[in-house]
Structure 1
Amino acid sequence: MKPFHTPVLLHETIKSLNVNPGERYVDATVGGGGHSLAILEKQGIILAIDCDPEALKAAKRRLSSACPSSWQLASGNFAHLQEMAQQRHFTPVAGVLFDLGVSSHQLEATGRGFSFNQDGPLDMRMDPSLSVTAADLVNGLTQKELIKLFTKYGQESWAAQISRLLVQLRSRLPIKTTRQLAAMVSRIKGWQGGIHPATQVFQALRMAVNDELNNLRLGLAGAVDILKPGGRLVVISFHSGEDRIVKNFFRRQAVNGQVAQLTKKPVRPTPSEVARNPRSRSAKLRSIEKK
């Protein structure tokens, strides 16, 4: 069976968490369970969280090969990480891991709408119980609101031109599929090879639909609160906006004397990892230790 997701910076993550036998760890974004499995192999105890039901199913299959008494799954957004851990009497903890962004499975699943390489409904909800889809935003926001969205979440320099054409086209026919949107963006930007021209637009919509930046701020604060002294928080980000939030949060916590920063500069994947897994190319790992 094909893995749900290939874990990024796996060795570096386990080293940064400083996993010890019998200690408790929260994997706030379990995905397919790759990082969690590595923690279990070091005899750590895991609370594995995800808001995607498909990810939880994949993680359950993968972690079932490990000691059944050493892990438990929790369905929900990591914005509520502290509450979920406390409800399960899973505090304090020795480490918390966030592996942000979208998984390989989510990108490749045609019905989820995350990828411009797969035609499907323009959905992009990681949690299917959310009410707003990417199609709702594309067809419902004003031109000005679309420009702001594509700029804020995607750093899209063609945001104005893309938004203008999008509004023109949707007045004749609603944009409902990934192929429609990708073709429209490509029409504006062209494509000379390399990164697909719709990459930033799709990223922006996904981050807006799932309120990823606000949830990250809440999750980071909750993570520090449940760490024991000496516990570590490790975050892998793939987007400059995410990394900025993490970097600034870590800096504030350090200035306030709450934590020690373990990474002056982010840890990046090696060239060999990028060659094996091209999706790791933009990954940045940062970590702190609670005092």
Structure 2
Amino acid sequence: MSTTTQDTARAAEVAELLVGAVDLHCHSGPAAMPRTLDHHEALLDCAEAKFSALLYKDHFYLGVSHAVMLEKLFPELGVKLFSGIALNNASGGINPHAVDHAVKIGAKIVWMPTLSAANHIEQILGQGKTFPQTAKKMLDAIPLRATDANGVITDDTKQVLDIIAEADVILAGGHLDAAEMIKVFEEAGKRGVKRMLVNHPTYLIGCTDDDIRTLVSLGAHIEHSICMWVEGKSKKFTPEELVHLIEVAGVDRTILSSDLGLLGSPRPVEGFRQVVSLLLDQQVSKVNIGKLVRSNAARLLGLDAA
């Protein structure tokens, strides 16, 4: 078989595996950070690849209105659109009023602080790790924690968890460190939160394999960011490391989301194509790839996971 024929066959194989895929972590614009595509373009890319759902994430604003209006304007595309709120300074921090409003208008996910998390600030400023910057200088972040000086979950965090539990939406760990996230997820479980998601555990969060196992035991899904495995400025890890991480959490508790939209990296759907090809090269079964890019995320969103 010629190289060209092999490439064509692989592209068709990848395309088939992405039918019905779900991206829970798309960084399209408009955004304070420069993006390679906007929400409409992300929708069109997903429709062309026959994705079933797309979830927009912005660090500064609630994206539900964009999702609702775009899905209404383009129903023929067949892609369900969602968004949520990140509890950074721009949203008032860990703010029960912001979360209450978000879930009342249809937010599907609430992220604990990301750019404003004390852990994020310590990692970027204190340890010199890199992270995409906003196009214009923003006000300096006020560090946020879900715990007080004694390591106890704050009252505001508890109220936020209660709202998430009642609405039955996803609690995402954001950029809290592993130890703080474990405390939050333990409390969340006690308060009836059923849907929990750990974002990029091996980047900024500092999860060990045992931390990942602990979080899974608390009911969490583990989300790995495709951007850290495909070609581009955010590539950090090897294919073998991804296979290992999938084994640590278990394929039924692992989700691959793009975390793409940043400059210098592929567009989200192209990132999915590359990571699926990578997994095929690593002899991951098609059934398991389907779980990683489609059914696990669909189930977490409450969609038909068939």
TM-score when scaled to structure 2?
0.30
TM-score when scaled to structure 1?
0.31
Please say which structure displays the higher CA radius of gyration: 1
